[in-house]
Amino acid sequence: MKAGKLSTFLKSGAIWGFVVLELIFFSVAGEFMSLSNKAFMDLDNMLLLLKQSAPIGIIAMGMTIIMINGNIDLSVGAIFALSAVVLLDSMTWTMFAGLGDWVIPVSWLLALLTGVVLGAINGLIVWKTGVDAFIVTLGSMLGFRGLVFMYNGENPTSYLNWTLVDFAEAQFLGLHTATWFLAVVTLVIWYVMTRTVHGRNAHAIGDNREAAVNAGIRVGPHILINFIIIGFLAALSAVVFYSESGSVNPNDGQLYELWVITAVVLGGTKLAGGSGSILSTLGGVLAIQLLRKGLGHIGADTETVNLVIGLILIAVLFLDRQLNLKGKEELKT
């Protein structure tokens, strides 16, 4: 192992250490406190956990590149809901009536297109107006959610296509369809961020925007692309989830943005941009899902789960800050 690798490994591996700790803790605690006699580390339980991580996880990959780029997107929950509405409702449109099961790819495309368009709207506004992404997406979060309610009022939008449900519930090599989507998205985004020009430039812009401009990088298009990617992923997350559930409530996806950001931050991505890791985000997503599931396993209720996750988030960021401060002082001397 070359010099410097170990410290990098420790830093990027910290979240995975936390995941392992959780596994051990819940396995042991589960023995004494669980209401069920099933072990926490049961294979089926773990596969289910991966599947349940997918909706947040897929969006979190997009949020990681947005945040590395120095922005944030609060509208992902609303994009998620609106794409879901488009997905389920379009399957009932009379113009697609003759398509049979071929309506599935058409509806998927429509839903994904919805995400792309909404993301592009966010990106264009951020690029062209120069308004902070936090403000822009706060506005679009409200606006997009408004569209969801305009679509069907307070009523859920429902449609079950059994072919689709079969697909969504399928397991290939043991992993559920949703898990495969999460895996593929993680891999693709990881490649984008580490191996492509776009990824490199997004890093540079997030770390030092002025230096990036001085190097002749066009900042705006990169920002736009990232918002399109996260819009697409929010829609993909909806496609994966609602293909199975078949019913979307107008309030679905609320607070998703916060869960996603929590996962990304737990994974070590800086809010200020410039640094972050796709794989660590995956760790952050799994850590949160493990906490939710594990605390449930030992009999805690939802309120307790939220309280604990909140405390852990602050503790982790505090630790991170202390470690970074120490590093900076070392640099100074």
Partner 1 sequence: MTVPVPALRLEGIVKTFPGVRALDDVSFSVMPGEVHALMGENGAGKSTLMKVLGGIHQPEEGQIIVAEVPTVMTSPLQAKSKGIVFIHQELSLAEELSVAENIYLGELPKRSFGRVDWGSLYAQTDAILSKLRVGFDARTRVGDLSIANQQMVEIARALTVDAKAVIFDEPTASLTDAEKVVLFDVISDLKAQGVGIIYISHRMEEIFKMTDRISVLRDGQYRGTLVTADTDEDEVTQLMIGRSLDLTRAASTHDLGDVALEVRNLSCGHLFQNVSFAVRRGEVLGFYGLVGAGRTEIAETLFGLRDPSGGSIHLDGKEIRITSPVDAIRMGLSLVPEDRKGQGLVLGMNCRDNMTLPQIGDLTAGPFVAEGAEIAIFDQYRDKLDIRTPGWKQTVGNLSGGNQQKIVIGKWLSMHPSVLIVDEPTRGIDVGSKSEIHNLIRELAAQGYAVIVISSEMPEVLHVSDRIVAMYSGRVMRTFTSDEVTEDNLIQAISGIASEQVA
Q: Give the interface with partner 1 as residue ranges (CB under 8 A).
A: 3-4, 191, 195-197, 200-201, 203-204, 207-208, 210-218, 274-275, 331
Rounded Cα gap, residues 13 and 19, in angstroms: 10
Q: Can you tell me whether residue 176 is helix, strand or coil?
A: strand
Instruction: Return the number of the residue (194 or 247) whose C-beta is nearest partner 1.
Output: 194
Distances 192 to 1, 188, 195, 197, 304 between C-alpha atoms, Å = 26, 6, 6, 8, 37
Distances 121 to 90, 125, 162, 225, 313 between C-alpha atoms, Å = 22, 6, 34, 11, 31
DSSP string covering 189-225, please?
HHHHHHHSHHHHHHHHHHH-HHHHHHTT--HHHHHHH
Q: How far is the CB of 108 from partner 1 (least distance, A)?
A: 24
Instruction: Return the number of the residue (202 or 248) whose C-beta is nearest partner 1.
Output: 202
Instruction: Return the number of the residue (303 or 330) whose C-beta is nearest partner 1.
Output: 330
Q: How many whole angstroms from its chain centre is CA 43?
A: 24
Q: How far is the CB of 212 from partner 1 (least distance, A)?
A: 7
Q: How far is the CB of 203 from partner 1 (least distance, A)?
A: 7
Instruction: Return the number of the residue (50 or 204) whose C-beta is nearest partner 1.
Output: 204
Q: How far is the CB of 1 from partner 1 (least distance, A)?
A: 13
List residues bridging with 202 in a β-sheet: none
**Non-local CB neighbours of 27 within 8 Å, separated by 6+ positions:** 39, 40, 41
Instruction: Return the number of the residue (187 or 258) whose C-beta is nearest partner 1.
Output: 187
Instruction: Return the number of the residue (100 or 216) whose C-beta is nearest partner 1.
Output: 216
Instruction: Return the number of the residue (37 or 214) whose C-beta is nearest partner 1.
Output: 214
Q: How far is the CB of 195 from partner 1 (least distance, A)?
A: 4
**Non-local CB neighbours of 197 within 8 Å, separated by 6+ positions:** none
The tally of CA atoms less than 13 A away on the side-chain side of residue 204 is: 17
**Non-local CB neighbours of 41 within 8 Å, separated by 6+ positions:** 23, 27
**Non-local CB neighbours of 165 within 8 Å, separated by 6+ positions:** 243, 244, 246
Q: How far is the CB of 214 from partner 1 (least distance, A)?
A: 5
Distances 280 to 42, 47, 269 between C-alpha atoms, Å = 24, 20, 8
The tally of CA atoms less than 13 A away on the side-chain side of residue 224 is: 12
Q: How far is the CB of 310 from partner 1 (least distance, A)?
A: 29
Rounded Cα gap, residues 302 and 296, in angstroms: 8
Please, are residues 204 and 68 in contact by the beta-carbon 8 Å criterion?
no
Instruction: Return the number of the residue (144 or 190) whose C-beta is nearest partner 1.
Output: 190
Instruction: Return the number of the residue (20 or 323) whose C-beta is nearest partner 1.
Output: 323
Q: How far is the CB of 185 from partner 1 (least distance, A)?
A: 16
Backbone angles phi, psi at 234, to 5 degrees: -60, -40
Q: How far is the CB of 77 from partner 1 (least distance, A)?
A: 30
